[in-house]
Every structure is written in C-alpha cells, then in structure tokens.
Structure 1
Amino acid sequence: MKVWQKSRELKNEIFQLVKSFPQEEKFRLIDQVIRSSRSINIQIAEGYGKRSNKDKIKYCMQARGSLSETLNHLIDAADCSYINAEQLRCYRSKLDELERILNGYIKYLKSLPIEG
C-alpha cells in the first residue's frame, strides 16, 4: 500500500535525522519522535490486518494522531534549534502528503459496504 510505503520512508528518514540531535535528548525528544513516527507505520499495518473496515478505519485514525504527534516533535526540535526552518518545512510537507494519502485511504474504506 502506498500509504504504508510513504510512512515507512518517513520513519526511516526521521531515524537518520535524530542521529544529529544532542545525546542528552536520547531518552527525551529522540525517543519520542522515533516512537511516534514508527507508530504511524505500525497503526497502518495493524489496521490493514483487521477484518472489518470499521477496525481498519480506527487504526488509520490512530495513525493520523501519531502523524500529528510526529509533527509536534519536529516543531519542538526546531524550537530547540536541532533542525532548521527549511528542514521543518520539508518534513511538514512530507507529513502533509502522507496525511492526504491516509485521508484518501480512510475515505475509500468508508465508501465500502458495511460488513455483517
């Protein structure tokens, strides 16, 4: 699925990005942004494996929440000068694209007949 592929790319990019953050952030911001970016990918995968469209949608909504959390962590990184404004703009653009794709998938799932 395209949405899973894009979330995987983002997760891997963020993992590389945080290697440049100060070591004292290892168990704070680094851990949080890695967890939230991984959660996007995990929720999409877990939802895909569910039987009902209702469950698939629920997990996609959770992925959307993790997407917003990831953006917030990146804004925090910019506030702390760990990333610059251009990097933040680039990641915001990637997150916006991923959200559009995810919203499209949710809309598709909602258009399917209700099971059972």
Structure 2
Amino acid sequence: MEVWQRAREICKFVEHLFQTTPISENFRLKNQMEGSSGSIMDNIAEGFDRDGSKEFHNFLSYSKGSASELKSQAYRAFDKGYLSTEQFEKLIEIEKNKLGAFMFYLRNSEFRGQKFKKD
C-alpha cells in the first residue's frame, strides 16, 4: 500500500536525522519525533488488518493526526537550528493529502471490508 510505504520512508528519514543532526541531543524532542513518525506507519498497518473499512478509516485518521504532530515537531527542530532548510522542507512534505484521499475513497466505497464479505 502506497500510504504505508510512504510512512516507512518518513520513519527512515527521521532516523537518518537522529544520526546526523543535533536532534539526537534533545531527548524529549527525539522521542516525540520517533513516536509520531512510527505512529503514522503503525496506525495504517493496524487499521488495514482490522478488515473493516470504517475501522481502517478511523486508523487512517489517527495516522493523519500523527503526521500533523510530526510536522509540528519538525518546525520546533528547525526553529532550534537542528535542521537545515533542506532537511526541514523534506520532512514537512509529509503527504497528509494522500491519507486524506485514501480516507475519502474508503468513505465512498461500497467495499466494507473482508469481515463483512458474504460467501
């Protein structure tokens, strides 16, 4: 799934930032960024495995919120001088629109999920 793959790329990039920038010295901010970036990916996976489109939609909503949280943390890291403009811009490119578009699709789809499938 493309949204999950993108979330995985975000996690990898955040980890790269921890290894190459002063963010690693600010333990609170680092832990918050680790949590929110991982939450984007994890909520997509958990929602997908629920086998119901309404539950999946809810988890995509949580994921979208985590993406906003990470974006806010990126602003904090940038304002503290931990990130270059290029690193900051790459991090805030987080595609909430893809999550939103996928949520729209689920709301308007006739497919309700595997657990509602009639044999």
Instruction: State the Cα RMSD in Å.
Output: 1.6
What is the aligned partner in structure 1 of residue 101 from structure 2? 104
| Counterpart Cα distance in 2 of 1:14 and 1:57 | 25
In the TM superposition, what are the counterparts of 1:65-80 in structure 2 within 5 Å?
65-80=65-80
Larger proportion of helix:
1
The number of residues matched between the two structures is 112
1:68–1:23 CA distance, 2 compared to 1 (3 A): closer
Deviations 1:33-61 (A, max 9, x none): 01100000000000101122110000000
Q: Greater shift after overlay, 100-109 or 8-17? A: 100-109
If the length of structure 1 is used for normalisation, what is the TM-score?
0.88
In the TM superposition, what are the counterparts of 1:86-101 in structure 2 within 5 Å?
86-93=86-93, 95=94, 98-101=95-98
| Counterpart Cα distance in 1 of 2:92 and 2:51 | 32
Amino acid of the structure 2 residue aligned with 1:25? N
Deviation at 1:22, TM superposition (A): 5.1
Identity of aligned residues (%): 29
Unaligned runs of 5+ in 2: none
If the length of structure 2 is used for normalisation, what is the TM-score?
0.86
| Counterpart Cα distance in 2 of 1:108 and 1:88 | 30
What is the aligned partner in structure 2 of residue 4 from structure 1? 4
Q: Greater shift after overlay, 100-109 or 28-37? A: 100-109
Deviation at 1:84, TM superposition (A): 2.1
Q: Greater shift after overlay, 98-107 or 7-16? A: 98-107
Aligned to 2:110, what secondary structure does the other structure show?
A: coil
What is the aligned partner in structure 1 of residue 22 from structure 2? 21
- Alignment pair present for 1:60 and 2:65: no
Deviation at 1:24, TM superposition (A): 3.7
| Counterpart Cα distance in 2 of 1:23 and 1:108 | 38
- The runs of 4+ residues in structure 1 deviating greater than 6 Å are none
